[in-house]
Amino acid sequence: MVHTYRERNRSADGFSKLGSTQQNLLFWYVVALPRQIRASYFLEKIRGCGY
């Protein structure tokens, strides 16, 4: 059985998933983020943190 805790902040959720599968990633620019995380980031900026 696998338990998944989903963050209300989708960018944080995306980083959490990415961190569990990758090692030591560092992003200097927003455009370097994976597409799904980048989209969530911009939506949260527009909406005010995605809540």
DSSP SS3 for 33? coil
Q: Which domain holds residue 40?
A: 10-47
Question: Is 33 a domain residue?
Answer: yes
Query: pLDDT tens digits, residue range 9-27?
Result: 788 888 888 877 776 778 8
pTM of the model: 0.59
Residue 1 lies in a domain: no
* Number of domains within the chain: 1
Is residue 3, in this structure, part of any structural domain at all?
no
Between 49 and 1, whose confidence is greater?
A: 49
The two structure tokens encoding residue 29: 């620019």
Q: Is residue 37 over pLDDT 70? A: yes
- Residue 21 belongs to a domain: yes
- Contact between 11 and 37 under an 8 Å Cβ cutoff? The reply is yes
Q: What is the pLDDT of residue 7?
A: 54
Residue 22 lies in a domain: yes
Report yes or no on 30 lying in a domain.
Answer: yes
